[in-house]
Amino acid sequence: MNAIDIINKTKKAITLTDDEIRWLVENYTNGEIPDYQMSAWLMAVRLNGLTEEETKSLTYAMRDSGEIIRLKAEGITADKHSTGGVGDKTTLIIGPIAAACGICVAKMSGRGLGHTGGTIDKLESISGFRTELPVDEFERILRKTGFAVISQSGELCPADKKMYDLRNATGTVDSIPLIAASIMSKKLAVNADCLVLDVKYGSGAFMKTRESAQQLADLMEKIGKGAEKRCKAEVTDMDSPLGLNIGNALEVAEAIEVLQGKVKGKLYDTSIQLAADMLQLAGKGSYEECVKMAVEAVDSGRALDVLRETIKLQGGDPSVCDDVSLLPVARCSYEVRAVQDMKIIRINCEEIGMTSLLLGAGRLCKGDPIDMTAGIIMHVGPGDSVSTGDTLMTLYSTLCSDFSDAAVRALNAIDFESVNCHKPLT
């Protein structure tokens, strides 16, 4: 085999064999195939796609390029993945709910790049919380609470890391087979029995249309089932932020308030839906029965107890579960107000995410520091009517004291209708 023949076959949309794909991945990972040849193959994939079987072969080869975790946990294990979005903190809600219902939720997460932080960034806003744990300690916490979150291992899917960096540099990120292989190779390397996939679509998501999100969801579900995992993919909306709080400490506070039973709405509903999917996959009953179990886990306080104990065992301050004001608080804030009477038609979720980035809640480059206090609390949503002077959202930051650019961007993210105007604020 040689790389040129493989590139030419994909360029001509000729199906590759499993052996050819495994050879390509293995030799690129060990440095035998140079970046320029892998770049050519990735572009051929971007233009011509891969068959379902080729995508499975690619995923499994990437999974097998590094460590595969074999957890010594009791009972059924589960994991979830979200393709990401603005205000998405469902892991902090779903994990404790499912654990309170008898499932072991072993979550390996990453840091964020862009918009806001990832799950690891959010958790590290809790004083003392440790995410870099040895596997044996991770397993001990799982056996005790049923829920733990650690940062991604450097030994996990090295092929994906190399290929993802190259895709970023060559304009080949937006390929559904490559996206599916990247996500699923890491999920399968974690090796949980059950896998729930939350595929987002809309202005605040990578997949902008429901159709493209459904295509990705269907493909990832087939890959998971092909690896003999119990797998279910849901397509959910990210045209507006998930919840009211955007930013690391702010999102942890909102997740805790959901588990306290104080917050309902879109975030609560999505979390219950995904938790019920996880419970059903684990054999806990019908979907309707699993919804009732998830709701009861919140209403009884058992899910909050799981989160409290997990935070304690991972070195964090568990008292935040009783008093969210103990989380980091921004030194500066600014209220964005309506300049006229209006009805909110739409909120550009991506622009709200970029506003939070301006405030310091996310990172532009890997390794950039994050302001754990920075972010936005939304006070309005689509369909709401407001009067002149009403607060639309509050901006928070410790590193940023001049809110002028962020406020303008936030205002321009709102589409509204009024008596004489049908355009965004400027």
Band (pLDDT 50/70/90 cuts) for residue 182 is: very high
pLDDT tens readout for residues 194-236: 999 999 998 888 888 999 999 999 999 999 999 999 999 999 8
Does the pTM of the predicted model rise above 0.95? no
- Strand, helix or coil at 37? helix
pLDDT at 425: 46
The model's pLDDT over 19-70, given as tens digits with 9 standing for 90+, comes to 999 999 999 999 999 999 999 999 999 999 999 999 999 999 999 999 888 8
From the list 291, 384, 296, the residue with the least C-alpha distance to 344 is 384
Q: Residue 246 — φ and ψ, nearest 5°? A: -130, 125
- Bridge-based pairing of strands 375-378 and 391-397 is antiparallel
CA 46 to chain centre: 23
Residue at token pair 């729930």? 196
Average pLDDT score over the chain: 91
119-144: per-residue pLDDT in tens? 888 999 999 999 988 888 988 999 99
pLDDT single digits (tens) 75-114? 899 999 888 778 889 999 999 999 999 999 988 877 665 5
Of 154-158, 244-248, 255-259, 382-386, where does mean pLDDT reach its minimum? 154-158
What the chain holds in terms of domains, given with CATH numbers, is 3-49 (1.20.970.10), 77-153+174-181+189-321 (3.40.1030.10), 329-417 (3.90.1170.30)
> What is the per-residue pLDDT for 113?
55
Q: How far apart are CA 412 and CA 422, in angstroms?
A: 13
Q: What are phi and psi of 229, to 5 degrees?
A: -105, 150
Give me the mean pLDDT over the 357-373 stretch: 83
Tokens 């991604």 — which residue? Answer: 152
Cα–Cα dist 108/61, whole Å: 20
Q: pLDDT value at position 421?
A: 46
Pairing, β 245-246 against β 375-378: antiparallel
Q: Catalytic positions, please? A: 81, 160, 167, 182, 186
So what's the pLDDT on residue 118?
A: 81
